[in-house]
Amino acid sequence: MPLNHYVTLGRSGLRVSPLCLGAMTFGDDLGWGSDVTTSKAIIDRYLALGGNFIDTANAYTRGHSEKIIGDHLGHTPSKRHRVVIATKFFGNLFPGDPNGGGAGAKSLIAATHESLRRLRTDYIDLLWMHALDRHTPLEETMRTLDDLVRAGKVRYIGFSDTPAWKVAQAQLTAHFRGWTPLVGLQIEYSLLERTVEGELIPAAQELGLGVTPWSPLKSGVLSGKYTRENAGKVKANRGAWVESSLNERAYTIIDVLQRVAKELGNTPAHVALAWVQNRPGVTSTIIGARTLEQLEDNLGALDVKLTPAQVAALDEVSQPTLNFPAAFLQGSPSFMHGGITVNGVTPPTMPFLPKTDAERY
């Protein structure tokens, strides 16, 4: 699938590329990431290949990520209008100011104006709430987002890193009050993080939200760099963030990932990205790149075609433990219509249920 085979995001008409360019690494202000020149080169290469979806946040490299994008695209209206720029509010860039971050009206409006200034644009294509603000009523956030859309400063809205029940509350509140609905849900999703399949993925599918996974390679753990054979010998670029994930379960998944990659003559990173991108509910997967080489390599995942057997092997080895009642409900079809095929699924019959009409009292 080429990068310019666009898909609509959730229940909206917004066309985006199947792989989204994550800009968290734009700017080397924090001692890691891409310098300005490299960041701009990455943007140019991504756009040249047909990509049109760039994701950033007000807090990424203290705002420098947004500024790099704005300085590079904002001075050319025709170039800027062809790109779907997504950014996030929530992060506090003003030390000591309790209203400098979060999802309250005061903070949200100010953060949007600051992002517009740094991005050198008069509108944001997609504005995400970066995380749940438990101190702000959800109605306040949704009303303010609707005001920003009606004012023409934002085109679409979405949530990131928010519990499924709050996402549902937000979407229903918007529906019944005639406010702008959410169109996307940005969540961590990878072979090493599948617990989102319990609540968040089903919620997104039910509520018309396109899922844009972040960290599909689990901060590089699934990139192929770390293996059972070199355990403890390869230094992790992100330190404890990566090392905490390098456990027996991770190596068991990496073992299968390596085997599938070898079967395809491909890389573990490509296979891991292809697996995520083809999960139910997923629209556009966010990829990060600190170099042009990393960008080119990640985009190669679009050419990977996993066989049903390979998908099943990856699914089995990475099977998550889900919270109640998600795990319990996986078996509910057996006592609802066991032995009967519904929507292509034929669950087994529970032994305590009647097998014939004659057995029923």
Is 258 in the same domain as 350? no
Stated pTM of the model: 0.94
Is 52 in the same domain as 158? yes
Band of pLDDT at residue 20, cut at 50, 70 and 90 = very high
Is 103 in the same domain as 184? yes
| Segments forming the whole domain that contains residue 283 | 7-325
pLDDT single digits (tens) 282-304: 999 999 999 999 999 999 999 99
Looking at the domain assignment, is residue 338 inside a domain? yes
Is 357 in the same domain as 290? no
For the CA atoms of 176, 127, 117, 31, what is the dihedral angle to 10 degrees? 150
Mean pLDDT of 267-288: 97
Nearest to 16 by CA among 184, 200, 154: 184
Mean pLDDT of 73-99: 96
pLDDT single digits (tens) 124-177: 999 999 999 999 999 999 999 999 999 999 999 999 999 999 999 999 999 999
Looking at the domain assignment, is residue 1 inside a domain? no
Provide the CA 81 distance to its chain's centre, in angstroms. 23
Is 357 in the same domain as 210? no
Is 275 in the same domain as 342? no
Is it the case that residue 1 has pLDDT exceeding 90? no
Mean pLDDT of 260-287: 97
Q: Which long-range contacts (CB under 8 A, 24 or more apart) does 223-230 make?
A: 223/268, 223/269, 223/272, 224/257, 224/258, 224/261, 224/267, 224/268, 224/269, 226/250, 226/254, 227/251, 227/254, 227/258, 228/254, 228/255
Band of pLDDT at residue 358, cut at 50, 70 and 90 = confident
What is residue 229's predicted lDDT score, i.e. its pLDDT? 84
Is it the case that residue 337 has pLDDT exceeding 90? no
Mean pLDDT of 191-209: 98
Count the domains in the chain: 2
- C-alpha–C-alpha distance, residues 129 and 8, integer Å: 20
One of 60, 156, 189, 226 is an active-site residue; which one? Answer: 60
Is 130 in the same domain as 239? yes
- C-alpha–C-alpha distance, residues 40 and 43, integer Å: 5
Is it the case that residue 236 has pLDDT exceeding 70? no
60 is catalytic: yes
What is residue 243's predicted lDDT score, i.e. its pLDDT? 73
Element of type H or E holding 125: strand 124-129
* Crossing angle between the packed helical segments 105-119 and 64-73, to the nearest 10 degrees: 40
Is 148 in the same domain as 168? yes
| CATH number of the domain enclosing 54 | 3.20.20.100
**Beta-carbon contacts of residue 343 (< 8 Å; ≥ 6 apart):** none
Is 49 in the same domain as 110? yes
Return the minimum-mean-pLDDT range out of 107-121, 139-153, 236-250, 298-312: 236-250
Looking at the domain assignment, is residue 172 inside a domain? yes
**CA torsion through residues 301, 303, 309, 311, sign:** positive
pLDDT single digits (tens) 320-329: 999 999 988 8
Is it the case that residue 28 has pLDDT exceeding 90? yes
Looking at the domain assignment, is residue 232 inside a domain? yes
Is 158 in the same domain as 305? yes
Is 321 in the same domain as 345? no
Looking at the domain assignment, is residue 2 inside a domain? no
Decide: 23 and 55 in contact? Cβ < 8 Å: yes
Residue with the larger pLDDT of the pair 131 and 75: 131
Is 220 in the same domain as 132? yes
Is it the case that residue 338 has pLDDT exceeding 70? yes
Mean pLDDT of 173-187: 98
Return the minimum-mean-pLDDT range out of 29-33, 107-111, 149-153, 279-283: 29-33
What's the token pair of residue 226?
């770390």
Mean pLDDT of 316-335: 92
What is residue 70's predicted lDDT score, i.e. its pLDDT? 98
